[in-house]
Structure formats: C-alpha cells, structure tokens
Amino acid sequence: MMIKDLIWQQESPDLHTAKSMGLRFSVIKNERGRYNAIMLDSGRRPECEHDLSSINDAKACCQKMLQRIAAYYIESGT
C-alpha cells in the first residue's frame, strides 16, 4: 500500500477499545477506483475486504470487523 492510496485511517470508532486490542483500520483506493477496507492487528495477519463501492461502505466494513473482534474477546473472556 502506498501512502498516496490511503483515504481514511483511525484506531477505531471506539478509540479506547481499539487501542487496548491493538487494532488499526484503513480505507485505501485500489487500482480500479474502488475501495478496500483493511484491519491491522498487531498479533495477526491483516484482514481485508476488497472492491467496495464507496468510502462509507468501506468504513461500515471496518465497523463490522471491529464488532466481530470485540464479540470474540467478550466471548473468550480476554
């Protein structure tokens, strides 16, 4: 990913939770002019959804990834 491709980035909508889990969410514009949502976790491989039609769709995808990860941590008691 080249820095010029970065459209949006934040730790997460819930900053405290994301920092404690070490997550970073990014949206980049791909070579076809569509958007990729990327979740980086310090302990795992990046997770990515490709070819989303809008920035808002990509941000919503990031939110779903955060909710899924948060649910995992709650269920596992970590």
The domain spans of the chain are 3-76
Taking the whole predicted model, whether its pTM rises above 0.85 is answered as no
pLDDT score at 57: 92
What CA–CA distance (Å, rounded) separates 58 from 73? Answer: 23
Q: Given a cut of 80, is residue 62 above it in pLDDT?
A: yes
What CA–CA distance (Å, rounded) separates 14 from 69? Answer: 12
What CA–CA distance (Å, rounded) separates 73 from 78? Answer: 5
What CA–CA distance (Å, rounded) separates 10 from 31? Answer: 22
Burial class (CB in 10 A: 0-12, 13-18, 19+), 8: middle
Q: How confident is the model at residue 11 (pLDDT cuts 50, 70, 90)?
A: low
Q: How confident is the model at residue 1 (pLDDT cuts 50, 70, 90)?
A: very low
Could you tell me which residues are beta bridge partners of residue 15? none
